Amino acid sequence: MNSNELFEKSLKLVPGGVHSPVRSFKGLHTTPRFINRGKGAYIWDEDGQNYIDFCMSFGPLIHGHQDPEIKEAIIKALDNGWTFGACEKYSLELAEFIIGKISFIEQIRFMSSGTEAVMTAVRLARGITGRAKIIKFNGCYHGHLDAMLIKAGSGLAGTAEASSKGVTAHQADDTLICELGDLEEVKKIFDDHKDQIAAIFIEPLPANNGLLIQEEAFLKGLRELCDKHCALLVFDEVISGFRIGFGGMAEKTGIIPDLVTYGKIIGGGMPVGAVAGPRKFMEFLAPVGPVYQAGTLSGNPVAMAAGLVNLKKLTPAAYEKLNSNTTKVVAVMKDWMDKNGFEDYQTIQYGSLFYPISTHDKLSNITHLPKNMNERFFALFKVMLEKGIYLAPNAYEVGFGSIAHDDKVIEDLKNRLWN
Ligand SMILES: *Cc1c(COP(=O)(O)O)cnc(C)c1O
């Protein structure tokens, strides 16, 4: 069966034909490609086409598809069984490795997704502070837990409503929404809700609604406000962790969060999420502390083995390669776009993340995104797909460079673009 036939079948079996909405190619006037294989920087679909992959499973595959050392670790782990629901030493190796390298982390708890990590961090922040409300920023994505499926309301500053049906008004009441970059607004929210705010949650490098790079002064201001009001600062580094250097944005900026959440890269492409921080906060979690959290498949030994090798391979030289690969990719794409009807685009880059967007304006919050971005992205996505280049299938998603996108792949990218 080809991709079209598989999608037709899938529409009958699965809501919208997909297990995660962004995969549906909604608004892109074509059906999703069904991928049957990936290797290095490439993926192959059921129609026999291959593509240079810039989605990379939305981030986890920092070394490319089927990295041989990660594959070997997975196979080796399988030989011992793939879940015990009991104590094992494999998760300790990953925990020890991460804790040894990131100075503000004393303890870590593994789970199976980024959403679970943020969900745990929300409960933990509430449990630690005894307060109910959290601050979230417009344009930051933190997974699909109810507390985060909240958008700015149409009423007063800080009011909010659910962005999904099924999320109660009660949930929306406890999530306060601010605009990225607007420290004054955050100050006002703290003053309006004295002793009620448990934590600020932020993607320190917001990369789920375009790439909305923040001033360090803003992040620093949030740190100070949290200290002043005895609230926690939580960095959601599910996308930026282990990508913008090993210690993510916390390490890059020197701004230390009280809790950090990880996902994506931490499992090397296997399902892993984590919450980490100092012992004094982490020990609020059960069974020591009063905040409950659990998981049948948490600390899964195969996923732990994959994550460990994935992270061990992230040497300083690897980061250099990762970033320089991405810089070259962006240069090649930009050059082609400028001369082929996409001169309205700029390509924003931060390390190995890049974001082509149809405006020359500076972007630092979602109000800066251009109105015609969906139509313009459709045009770009379509040409790229026809040329064998797979961008993440949505105007709001960033592109992911990898260590596998080496000079040979970049040469191929150039050929595909210009032919
Ligand atoms: C992807 C992402 C999540 C959600 O992780 P899942 O593994 O998809 O549940 C949460 N926060 C950020 C910043 C993310 O990029």
Q: Check residue 381 and give its pLDDT.
A: 97
- Looking at domain 68-312, does it have CATH number 3.40.50.10380? no
> Would you say the CB of residue 263 lies under 6 angstroms from ligand 1?
yes
> Would you say the CB of residue 143 lies under 6 angstroms from ligand 1?
yes
> Would you say the CB of residue 236 lies under 6 angstroms from ligand 1?
yes
What tokens does 247 get? 């210690």
Q: For residue 79, how far is its CA from the centre of ligand 1 (angstroms)?
A: 30
Which residues lie closer than 8 Å to 70 by C-beta, 6 or more apart? 63, 268, 269, 306, 309, 310, 313
Which residue type is seen at 91?
Answer: S
62-79 per-position pLDDT tens digit: 999 999 999 999 999 999
Q: For residue 58, how far is its CA from the centre of ligand 1 (angstroms)?
A: 9
**pLDDT of 158 higher than 70:** no
Band the pLDDT of 156: cuts 50, 70, 90: low
Active site annotation includes 141: yes
355-389 per-position pLDDT tens digit: 999 999 999 999 999 999 999 999 999 999 999 99
386-412 per-position pLDDT tens digit: 999 999 999 999 999 999 999 999 999
pLDDT, mean over the chain: 96
Give the integer Cα–Cα distance in Å for 2 and 145: 35
Active site annotation includes 89: no
- Listed by start position, the domains of the chain span 3-66+316-418, 68-312
Nearest atom (ligand 1) to Cα of 113? 7
Average pLDDT over residues 135-156: 89
Band the pLDDT of 152: cuts 50, 70, 90: confident
> Would you say the CB of residue 175 lies under 6 angstroms from ligand 1?
no
Q: Check residue 160 and give its pLDDT.
A: 82
Hey, is 196 helix, strand or coil? coil
Average pLDDT over residues 295-301: 97
Hey, is 202 helix, strand or coil? strand
Q: Check residue 262 and give its pLDDT.
A: 98
Active site annotation includes 236: yes
Q: Check residue 153 and give its pLDDT.
A: 74
What percent of the chain has pLDDT above 70? Answer: 99
CA proximity to 203, closest of 185, 180, 226, 171 = 180
237-260 per-position pLDDT tens digit: 999 999 999 999 999 999 999 999
- Cα dihedral sign, 154-162-355-257: positive
What percent of the chain has pLDDT above 90? Answer: 97
Secondary structure E strands in 169-216: 175-179, 197-202
75-129 per-position pLDDT tens digit: 999 999 999 999 999 999 999 999 999 999 999 999 999 999 999 999 999 999 9
Hey, is 195 helix, strand or coil? coil
Find the helix packing angle between 183-192 and 216-228, rounded to 10°: 10
Nearest CA to ligand 1 atom 6: 114
Q: For residue 262, how far is its CA from the centre of ligand 1 (angstroms)?
A: 8
> Would you say the CB of residue 238 lies under 6 angstroms from ligand 1?
yes
- Report CA-CA distances (Å) from 364 to 140, 157, 213: 11, 19, 6
What tokens does 327 get? 């810089």
> Would you say the CB of residue 141 lies under 6 angstroms from ligand 1?
yes
Q: For residue 192, how far is its CA from the centre of ligand 1 (angstroms)?
A: 30
Q: For residue 211, how far is its CA from the centre of ligand 1 (angstroms)?
A: 15
Nearest atom (ligand 1) to Cα of 140? 13
> Would you say the CB of residue 397 lies under 6 angstroms from ligand 1?
no
**pLDDT of 21 higher than 80:** yes
> Would you say the CB of residue 239 lies under 6 angstroms from ligand 1?
yes
User: What pTM, to 2 d.p., does this model score?
Assistant: 0.97
Give the integer Cα–Cα distance in Å for 89 and 77: 12
Which residues lie closer than 8 Å to 363 by C-beta, 6 or more apart? 210, 211, 212, 213, 348, 357, 369
186-224 per-position pLDDT tens digit: 999 999 999 999 999 999 999 999 999 999 999 999 999
What tokens does 61 get? 């595959």
Q: For residue 354, how far is its CA from the centre of ligand 1 (angstroms)?
A: 17
The catalytically annotated residue of 42, 141, 350, 396 is 141
- Report CA-CA distances (Å) from 203 to 5, 21, 92, 141, 412: 38, 21, 27, 8, 33
Q: Check residue 157 and give its pLDDT.
A: 59
CATH superfamily, with its number, for domain 3-66+316-418: Aspartate Aminotransferase, domain 1 (3.90.1150.10)
What tokens does 14 get? 């699965």
146, 203, 214, 239: residue to mutate for ligand 1 pocket, most atoms within 8 A of CB: 239
Average pLDDT over residues 180-186: 97
